[in-house]
Amino acid sequence: MAKDTVSNLRIRRRLLVVFFLTVGVIVALILRLGWVQFGMAEELQQKAWEQWNRSIPTRSSRGNIYDCNERLLAGSATVETVVAVPPQIEDPVFTARALASVLNMDEEKVYGLITQDKAAVYVKRKIEEEMAKEVRLLNLPGITFTHETKRFYPNGSLLSQLLGFVGMDQGWAGLEIYYEELLKGRDGHIVFPTDNKGREIPGVRRYIPPKEGADLYLTIDETIQFIVERELSKAMIEFDAERVMALAANPQTGEILAVASKPDFDPNDYNKYSKEYWRLYPVTETFEPGSTFKLVTLCAAIEENLYDEKEYFFCSGSTVISGHTIRCWTSATGGHGSISFLEVVLGSCNTAFIELGERLGPDKMYEYIRAFGYGARTGLDYPGEGKGLIFRPEQIGPLELATCSFGQGISVTPLQQVMAVSAIANGGYLLKPYVIKEIRDADGSVVEKRSPEVIRQVISSDTAAHVTSIMEGVVNEGSGINAAITGYSVCGKTGTAQKVGPDGVYIHGEYILSFIGFAPAEDPQVVLYIAADGVKRGAQWGSQVSAPLFRAIIKDVLSYLEIMPAQSPEKGEVKLVEVPDLKGLTIDEAGALLDTDGLLLKLVGKEGVIIDQTPKSGAKVPVQTGIIVYLEDLWDAENPEFVFAPDLRGMTVKEVGEVLSRLNLKLKPAGSGVVVKQEPAAGTNIQMGSVIKVHFSSPLQ
């Protein structure tokens, strides 16, 4: 009896264990089912969706870029891309052969693409409309299309270095990469269901539209940009320069109105150009500023009451600092002699500016250099902005103080120069430059609007007015006279800086010739910086190369902006100057002689002394008249009846006629504009009386 009771208890225990285990398993299954049904629903639904649906991306339309007057600078056009859906391709070999012939692709490459274990692959992207039509006519199973956008630049190379360009999927340079996230938008998709073999179930496609990118509205004025680039292109031809550059800004706001360097590139075909052409030199590159930097020393000296324009200074042509001889540009003629400090600025005397630097001392000099923004990036919304290099106070010895007082031994960007001079033009305030005026979404609503931003006041309004007056004198009667415009009050400063090589040593005979200024003096609206690098033809003086280039640009810009010339009679008179006798002089001697005369030196030949000139010495001509001089290497010393063909590039028809007539050569012209090509080539030894065929054209590429 007792044994039966124990046995029954064991059976009951086992049954209870089995019961609870069964209940536990059932509860666990219910919980698991609930988790699968609810907790994992979204994940499983997504996996199921991916199994029976395929997706082809459709690229968003990239935002447009406009100038300040809403003229299109960069836009996007819809193009088609060939897409393969490998599971739907019935005969890969035939399909690859057919596509390769139409798409101009390698057959093996096409076969490799269309046989990948993927839902969809690109075969060829962004094809022309005619090619897309041919692919459609093939009617190949598993071959379809998706829409993409292709970037285009309606003005070709105009503003190319600022805009940058777009690669296959994203911006690669300039504003295109800097504002990539805003411009690119959000991609859409074409979604369609498939059967268990990956074949599309017809009639059930769904289109998820992309979101367009934002539009950029620049501070750039397309017309001003065109004027700038037109004149830079002319200068490249006329002076056979390695590079020329310009940057224009509104000194009252900090808005960049135009910026360019030549040579440049066409962003529609960017792969055809060297990467060097992609760079926006006025923003990214640094170099020694030369005499344009003297404006900073002048401002500091006036602000600290260390400058008296009536005080006199004696320039002997050179001075010795810490055992180093530093020369003034007039050293070949014995210096300026005794001149007032006003004449010091008008004549750009190096030794006198060394004196001003010594009066300021290293700490004050550094303080003002930093205050004007040098040695730091301006914060312009553009990638790769240069910073420059300046001395710290502990690095400034007597020699460093002397050289930086007239713009040597330090490096700056043209943009920094423009913003510093803008502070002089606007009454003493350093502004932050900007190139984006507005950002608008795809609906046209303004999402961001930029406005002028004052960084700090660097000089008083009185100092700014005083320096403005002196800069006007530089243009009216000093080294900047070739930048003067009849009827306008133009302010400026020339610069001639020797180039520094990769080893940190100055390169003999190579200079960066610059000019910076603004107009009109009474209400400055435009600050313009010009620089010519590696000039191979022409006098190596900023007054001879960059000042007239500045004048050509600023004159048309003022006219475009409808800034009327002053009505003062004395400013409307034509100033006549007497042509000096240049025969027997070297190029440098002639350039120094003409520096403040307001005459331009036009060289025919490369080296030697001047043999002849047009107009002749003693003639009275208007300021800024070009004096054509003929160098001795034009004539064949061994054969008097032969001459070497002159380099005519950049000359006008009138200038070419005068030159060839003087050398007893005949002209056969073709086209109009300035000379871009000649036959025979410059330097060819030809007999007098020979014909030179000259091709004229517009310099704007």
Tens-digit pLDDT profile for residues 596-610? 778 888 889 888 899
Report the sign of the C-alpha dihedral through residues 93, 98, 99, 103, in that order.
positive
- Kindly state the average pLDDT of the residues 145-152: 83
Q: What percent of the chain has pLDDT over 70?
A: 90
In this model, does residue 389 exceed pLDDT 70? yes
The helix/strand count (H/E) of the chain reads as: 20, 33
How does pLDDT run across 401-451, given as a tens digit for each residue? Answer: 999 999 998 999 999 999 999 999 999 999 999 999 999 998 889 999 999
Q: How confident is the model at residue 529 (pLDDT cuts 50, 70, 90)?
A: very high
CB-based contacts of 546, cutoff 8 Å, min separation 6: 494, 495, 513, 514, 515, 530, 531, 532
Select from 3.30.450.20, 3.10.20.740, 3.40.710.10, 3.40.50.300 the CATH code of 227-271+282-573: 3.40.710.10
pLDDT value of position 672? 86
CA distance 516 to 527: 7
**Contacts of 448 by beta carbon, 8 Å cutoff, 6+ apart:** 438, 439
- 227-231, 584-588, 659-663: least confidently modelled range: 584-588
- If phi > 0 it is left, if psi is from -120 to 50 it is alpha, else beta; for residue 442 that is alpha
Q: Mean pLDDT, to the nearest integer, of 232-256?
A: 95
pLDDT for 494 equals: 93
Write the burial class of residue 681 (CB in 10 Å: 0-12 exposed, 13-18 middle, 19+ buried): exposed
Domain extents in the chain: 2-39, 55-216, 227-271+282-573
Q: What's the pTM? A: 0.84
User: CB of 484 within 8 A of CB of 476?
Assistant: yes
pLDDT at position 701: 47
For 55-216, which CATH superfamily applies? Penicillin-binding protein 2a (Domain 2) (3.90.1310.10)
CA 320, 326, 331, 332 torsion-angle sign: positive
CA dist 551 → 9, 573, 642, 687 (Å) = 115, 18, 38, 39
For 673, the 3-state DSSP assignment is coil
CA–CA separation, 188 vs 191, rounded Å? 10
- The predicted-structure confidence for 541-578, as pLDDT tens digits, reads as follows 888 999 999 999 999 999 999 998 875 545 446 778 89
Best-predicted range by mean pLDDT (80-84, 230-234, 346-350) = 230-234
The region of weakest confidence among 51-60, 132-141, 475-484, 569-578 is 51-60
Catalytic residues: 291
Residues 6+ apart with CB under 8 A from 408: 288, 290, 497, 498
Arithmetic mean of pLDDT, 146-154 = 86
Within 13 Å and on the Cβ side, how many CA atoms surround 270?
21
